């Protein structure tokens, strides 16, 4: 099947149309392994243990999942179908709490069912497939548009810092924060990218560096606590990260450590750009204080990446998956509909009101 990660969609409908095919991101960069998910348990687990991850990719997976699962739902009546559909939707929604794209996509699929009340399930299922594939195609278009908008914020030869993975592996193609980098690479911009390794799950070292290097981008991995040094030396002209949720005031939740990068960037006068599809903007969440932060297994910190445990037995571990970056630290939020600048309460509202 080839061995370049860029040759494949991160998530798509399986060839037989009855499953979801994903790249197993827990195996990267050592091996490119594809999984076909067919049951609700398999899909829930894949999202939960980060076999598929990144807000846009999770949303696409959720949309395709509701179609795939609908194929096995009761066909006797609309009411029976609706009851099982709701159960599956709520089950998948419990897999991860922070990324708003999960519930956004599930609600999009649910809206199809609600809009066709009383319809025979056999007639409803093709409509669910159509909506799921629309969300899939839209993700590709949205990420490309984010890339075009983000590219206007940088110039040829710039140094760019990334945190976590907001690359093609967090979406179907292009990614969010890496979309400007990929488009710039195609246009000969000659960026040099510094990838924070992003402890504790190393998505920067394992995933972002892997895919950028595959694309021929000049890439350097740094430990998270080296970001201040490369900024102080003047090697970084801009920071691009993705996010899992944008609050109405411009606060953003992203992989743990993003707020540290933003604070250091403010000190050294490096602009911090958040790349987010409008599906990640949650106008019903007033500020970052209301965003639920997922806490994960302590083993991710103490032993996951080591041959032997690297912390004392029974020591307490705090392992939040995300932190919230204050809107005051963000220079701009790049969306597919345009670039939002402070004050975000006004600019985000205008973007969300666009057709």
What would the pLDDT profile of 101-159 be if each residue is shown by its tens digit? 999 999 999 999 999 999 999 999 999 999 999 999 999 999 999 999 999 999 999 99
Asked whether the predicted pLDDT for residue 194 surpasses 60, the reply is yes
User: Cα(75)–Cα(304) distance, rounded to whole angstroms?
Assistant: 44
Residues 264 and 323 placed together within one structural domain of the fold:
yes
Residues 188 and 284 placed together within one structural domain of the fold:
yes
Residues 88 and 158 placed together within one structural domain of the fold:
no
Q: In what order do the strands lie in the sheet with 34-37?
A: 11-13, 20-23, 34-37
pTM: 0.91
Decide if 148 is inside a domain: no
pLDDT for the residue 1: 37
What would the pLDDT profile of 26-72 be if each residue is shown by its tens digit? 999 999 999 999 999 999 999 999 999 998 999 999 999 999 999 99
pLDDT for the residue 81: 98
Q: Give the DSSP letter of residue 204.
A: I
Decide if 347 is inside a domain: yes
Confirm whether 122 is a catalytic residue. no
Asked whether the predicted pLDDT for residue 196 surpasses 50, the reply is yes
| Residue at a domain's end among 86, 121, 143 | 143
Measuring CA to CA, which residue among 121, 113, 131, 205 is closest to residue 167? 205
Is the peptide bond between 343 and the residue preceding it cis, with omega within 30 degrees of 0? Answer: yes
Decide if 177 is inside a domain: yes
Residues 206 and 337 placed together within one structural domain of the fold:
yes
What would the pLDDT profile of 324-340 be if each residue is shown by its tens digit? 999 999 999 999 999 99
Q: How many domains does the chain have?
A: 2
| Residue at a domain's end among 143, 161, 191 | 143
Residues 103 and 167 placed together within one structural domain of the fold:
no
pLDDT for the residue 3: 54
pLDDT for the residue 7: 83
Decide if 307 is inside a domain: yes
Decide if 246 is inside a domain: yes
Residues 287 and 344 placed together within one structural domain of the fold:
yes
What would the pLDDT profile of 14-30 be if each residue is shown by its tens digit? 999 999 999 999 999 99
Residues 43 and 89 placed together within one structural domain of the fold:
yes
User: Cα(172)–Cα(277) distance, rounded to whole angstroms?
Assistant: 13
Asked whether the predicted pLDDT for residue 287 surpasses 90, the reply is yes
Decide if 130 is inside a domain: yes
CATH of the domain at 279: 3.40.50.10470
CATH of the domain at 91: 1.20.120.420
DSSP helix, strand, coil percent of the chain (3-state; round to 5):
45, 15, 40
Measuring CA to CA, which residue among 146, 175, 143 is closest to residue 162? 175
Number of helices (H), then strands (E), in the chain: 12, 14
Residues 192 and 215 placed together within one structural domain of the fold:
yes
Average pLDDT, the chain: 96
Cα–Cα separations (whole angstroms), residue 329 to 105, 214, 258:
29, 32, 11
Asked whether the predicted pLDDT for residue 352 surpasses 70, the reply is yes
- Residue 254: which residues within 8 A CB-CB, separation 6 or more? 163, 164, 241, 242, 243, 244, 274, 322, 323, 325
| Residue at a domain's end among 116, 143, 170 | 143
Decide if 106 is inside a domain: yes
What would the pLDDT profile of 233-249 be if each residue is shown by its tens digit? 999 999 999 999 999 99
Residues 139 and 157 placed together within one structural domain of the fold:
no
Residues 192 and 94 placed together within one structural domain of the fold:
no
Q: Give the DSSP letter of residue 28.
A: T
Options 9, 244, 251, 323, the catalytic residue = 244
Residues 198 and 112 placed together within one structural domain of the fold:
no
Asked whether the predicted pLDDT for residue 301 surpasses 70, the reply is yes
Residues 134 and 168 placed together within one structural domain of the fold:
no
The residue range of the domain holding 329 is 153-353
Decide if 297 is inside a domain: yes
Averaged pLDDT for residues 65-84 = 97
């Amino acid at each position: 099947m080839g061995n370049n990660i860029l040759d494949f969609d991160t998530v798509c409908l399986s060839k037989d149309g009855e499953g979801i095919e994903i790249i197993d991101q827990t195996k990267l960069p050592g091996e490119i392994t594809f999984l076909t998910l067919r049951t609700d348990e398999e899909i829930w687990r894949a999202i939960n243990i980060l076999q598929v991850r990144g807000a846009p990719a999770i949303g696409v997976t959720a949309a395709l999942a509701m179609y795939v699962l609908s194929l096995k739902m009761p066909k006797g009546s609309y009411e029976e179908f609706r009851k099982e559909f709701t159960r599956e939707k709520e089950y998948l929604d419990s897999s991860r709490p922070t990324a708003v794209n999960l519930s956004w996509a599930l609600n999009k699929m649910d809206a199809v069912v609600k809009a066709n009340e009383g319809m025979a399930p056999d007639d409803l299922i093709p409509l669910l497939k159509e909506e799921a594939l629309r969300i899939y195609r839209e993700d590709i278009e949205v990420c490309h548009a984010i890339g075009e908008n983000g590219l206007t914020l940088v110039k040829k030869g710039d140094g760019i810092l990334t945190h976590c993975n907001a690359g093609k592996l967090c979406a179907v193609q292009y990614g969010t924060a890496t979309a400007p980098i990929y488009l710039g690479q195609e246009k000969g911009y000659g960026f040099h990218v510094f990838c924070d390794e992003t402890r504790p799950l190393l998505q920067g070292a394992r995933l972002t560096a892997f895919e950028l290097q595959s694309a021929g981008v000049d890439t350097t991995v740094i430990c998270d606590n080296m970001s201040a040094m490369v900024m102080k030396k003047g090697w970084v002209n801009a920071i691009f990260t993705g996010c899992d949720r944008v609050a109405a005031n411009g606060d953003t939740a992203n992989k743990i450590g993003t707020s540290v990068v933003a604070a250091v960037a403010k000190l050294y006068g490096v602009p911090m750009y958040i790349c987010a599809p409008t599906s990640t903007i949650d106008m019903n969440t007033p500020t970052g204080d209301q965003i639920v932060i997922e806490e994960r297994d302590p083993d991710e910190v103490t032993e996951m990446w080591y041959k032997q445990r690297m912390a004392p037995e029974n020591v307490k571990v705090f392992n939040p998956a995300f932190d919230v970056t204050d809107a005051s630290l963000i220079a701009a939020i790049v969306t597919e509909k345009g670039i939002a600048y402070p004050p975000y309460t006004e600019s985000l509202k205008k973007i969300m009101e666009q057709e």
